[in-house]
Structure formats: C-alpha cells, structure tokens
Structure 1
C-alpha cells in the first residue's frame, strides 16, 4: 500500500481548504498537475478521480491523499460532495513510500517515533463526522482570523487525526482478544444505530450478554460507561449535522432518535458545553466551492 510519511515536529503549511459540492450529476473533476498535497474527505456520493495512471473510486466516509506533481483528473461523472485540504510540508518532511505495511511501519531513526506518522494514500475513516467538524473548524479559522500559524497547526492536527483513525484499520482480527472483538463490535453497532433510541439493555440483548457484564467490560476497555459512550456518539453525529447541513435543531433531534427536542438540547449542552444553535453559529463560516 502506498503511504506518506509525515514528520510532525513542525506544522504543515496550509495552502487552501474548503467544501466542494458538484453542481450537477454530470460534473467531472478538472485535469491538472497538483502543486501541493491534497486531502479529499467524502461526505456524499462517489468521486471518480485518477492520480497519474491509478484510478480511484472514493465514496462517502472514505478519503484520498494525493502528493505534489500528481496528474489529477476525473475519469467519469461524479455526483458528490467533499471537503478538501491543500497543504505543503516542511523541507523533506513528507515522502511517498510504496509498499509500506501500515500495521507495523518502520521506526524512524533517532528514536523519534512520536514525531513521525504514516498516512495511507486511501482508506475508510472510523469517524467521518469528527474529521468533518475539525475541517469545518479550520475553515472557520481561515475566515475569522486568517492567522497563518494557527491554520497550519490546525491542518496538522487534522492529519494526525487521520493517522489515528487509520493506523489500526488493517490489524489482524485474530490477534485481538475475545473481549476486544466484542468491544469493537459494540462500537460498530452504536455507530450504525445512532439515529435510533439505543439502550444498554438493547445492546446486551442483541449480543447475548448480561447487561451488567457488558457495561463493566466496556468501561474497563474504553474508560467510560457504555451509556455515556452512546451519548457521546450521538453528539458527534449532531455536531456533524449542525456544521455540514442546513437542518434545523428539531430535524437534527429527530434524526438522532429524540422524540423531545428539549431533551436533545439539554444533552447537547451537557456534552459539548454549547447549545446546538450556539455551536452552529460558532462555525457558520463555511467555505463552499462549485468549480
């Protein structure tokens, strides 16, 4: 797998960022030679994009990272939307590595493991909404402050989050313990059921375990209770909907399985520290592009 090595002792340099929405179902990505790195994070539809001689099909929840001097072009119509980030790295800090094994990357020289991350060129995100909220915060920073150093560090944090979301994606399931497998299954179940009114008893019944045992096991592994994790995941999705859609608070509440909008607003304020409206207004300066 092609991957990119990034040394994070210094921040990358942000060039541009924004959100793109295809103006029609017939839109095809333009042809160009990239002058910097481009990160694309898909939020809707499918993007048919080629880098040099390799063709990529990038769907919602997936990302693509292309390096400078890549000949980039669309190879078929793409009805989609995505967030994008163009950046450059400090001198020599980012380099392509063909065939790098992501589950066991080689340690950097000099014992500086914590300063180097490896980013697969293409993959699936474990938490799309979190990445989107972070990219929206970066866009808000660009429009509100336009402070170069701040924007560079925020861009680097996004890349570090990308690394954290992908570094264990290729782990061998046979190496995981039975409890770890169960924990990951529960996390996936919650992720795909966030729009429903989920209860701990419902999860326990689904997996065939005692409710008390399941709650204790989850708390030991994650450090928070199962009930609290469910609430946190619902609020992560709420933050994404508030920043990336024009749905009103009542619509967001219904989409998360709340019958009472007041209960949703109360839970959101408790977890996030802001009301849903305050959160949306804090990151209202979206950068939207249609070309």
Structure 2
C-alpha cells in the first residue's frame, strides 16, 4: 500500500467538501482530472474508483486518499454514501511531515463524521479562509492520530467510540435541544441501539442525558440573563413555557422561577 506524505509546516489549503449518496445502484463516478488531493470517507456501501496508478475498492468505514492525477474515474457501479474533501498540502517538506496510508479502515468513523459536518457547516455559513484551512487541517490530524493509535494498539471498542462521538456531538451543539431521533439520523444507527450503547457505558439513558445537558444551559440562562422563563424555554426548543417548566422541574426538582430566585436571592448580612 502506498503511503502519502503530508507536510504540516503550514495549514493545508481547503478547497471544498461535501456528502454524496449515489442516486441509483448503477451510479458510476465521473471521469475527470483531479487537480488537488481528495479524501473519501465511505459511510455506506462500496465505492469503486480508479486513477492512473490503479483501481480501488473502498468499503464502509474506510477512507481513500487520492493525490492529483490526470485521470480519476469510476470503473464499476457504486451503490454507496461518502463524504469527500479536496485540499492542497503545504509545499514545504520538513522532518515533521506526517505519513498516512493511502487507504485504510477508519478506527472511529463517528469522529470523522462530526468533523466533516463541522467543516461543511463552516463552509456554508462563514466562507472564512483561515477557519476552513484550520478545520481541514484538524480533520487530517484526526485521521492521522486515529491511525497512529490503532498501530500502537491504543484502540477502543466500536461502542466506546460511538459513546465518545455522542458526547462530542452534544458538546458541539450544547445550546440546542437534541433528540435521540436526531442522533440516530446523524450517526446512522437505530434509536434503540444508540440508547442501549449509551446506557451501557454512562449508566443513564441517552434521553435523560440529553435533557440534563440542555437544562444545564437553561440554568446558566436563568442566573446570568434577564430573559423570561418563556424566552429561555423557546431558545432551547420548547415552544410552550409550561412544557419547559415541567421538564426543568423533572431534572432539578424545582421550577425555573424557584431556581432563579434561589440563585439570585441576596444573603442576609449579620447584625
């Protein structure tokens, strides 16, 4: 297997990225010139793609790193879903260059999915060059570190990876009310499986954890802002203040107004 050397002297240059799902089982990748490096992360099915150096079969939870080539093309129908990302590494080569196998199994695909979605979101929202280059470089380093950990025998189980990925996703979206269904759609696992994995490690249900996390944000808003109870509830996804108050009390044991009063009441000064 060919190893790819990538210079880390400077940030890599991000070009564009996306997520693709084959429209039919007969879809074949287009034929074209590839002017920069491209990374494929296959999340479903199998991708059959080739360049002037050979043909590649990229299966679920595998990646392929293709350098620039005069001819990139599909050589067989590919019924698959994958993230793709184009970049140009720094042209300055140093002793700190990292070496990534051209193709391998991804030890923790969930973390890659999170970072790819962050990169896509940043591209859609901000179009800020330094931010995109930084996120893209972070993605490359995540892949490199996963592979290094695997080679050193420092691997976690698939369930442990999934559990950590859920925690990462919740922290990244900690100001938003998240449902188990949303996580199921994001990671591509059934709701019951996600909940089972999470509870087996955390000791509490996934639904309860999500509720606790969003209520931590609500607590901070109650103490540090002048927003009304209804405004705080609405900001975290509750369209009805009564439902928000019930959910808050379920977690804390007291109502939002009682919590606010208990935290803002001035202590009595001694006589």
Distance 1:29 1:260 in 2: 37
Structure 1 pair 259/148, CA: closer, same or farther in 2 (3 Å)? closer
Structure 1 residue matching 2:69: 3-state secondary structure: coil
Greater relative CO (CA pairs within 8 A, separation 6+): 1
For residue 263 of structure 1, report the CA deviation from its aligned partner. Answer: 3.3
Structure 2 residue matching 1:40: 3-state secondary structure: strand
Distance 1:167 1:270 in 2: 35
Structure 1 pair 69/243, CA: closer, same or farther in 2 (3 Å)? farther
2:37 is matched with 37
Matched ranges for 1:188-207 at <5 A: 188=157, 191=158, 194=159
Matched, 1:245 2:185: yes
For residue 253 of structure 1, report the CA deviation from its aligned partner. Answer: 3.9
Distance 2:181 2:98 in 1: 30
Matched ranges for 1:87-98 at <5 A: 87-93=87-93
What RMSD, in angstroms, separates the aligned Cα atoms of the two structures? 3.7
1:117 pairs, out of 70, 74, 98, with 98
Offset from partner CA, 1:56-87 (integer Å, 9 cap, x none)? 11011000000012521111000001000001
Structure 1 pair 231/145, CA: closer, same or farther in 2 (3 Å)? closer
Structure 1 pair 259/33, CA: closer, same or farther in 2 (3 Å)? closer
Structure 1 residue matching 2:27: 3-state secondary structure: coil
For residue 257 of structure 1, report the CA deviation from its aligned partner. Answer: 3.5
Matched, 1:264 2:245: no
For residue 116 of structure 1, report the CA deviation from its aligned partner. Answer: 2.4
Instruction: Between 54-63 and 232-241, report the one with greater CA deviation.
Output: 232-241
Structure 1 pair 139/238, CA: closer, same or farther in 2 (3 Å)? closer
Offset from partner CA, 1:182-212 (integer Å, 9 cap, x none)? xx5xx33xx2xx4xxxxxxxxxxxxxxxxxx
Instruction: Between 259-268 and 44-53, report the one with greater CA deviation.
Output: 259-268
Matched ranges for 1:1-291 at <5 A: 1-93=1-93, 109=95, 115-170=96-151, 187-188=156-157, 191=158, 194=159, 232-233=163-164, 235=166, 242=182, 245=185, 253-258=191-196, 263-268=205-210
Structure 1 residue matching 2:131: 3-state secondary structure: helix
Structure 1 pair 29/237, CA: closer, same or farther in 2 (3 Å)? farther
For residue 260 of structure 1, report the CA deviation from its aligned partner. Answer: 11
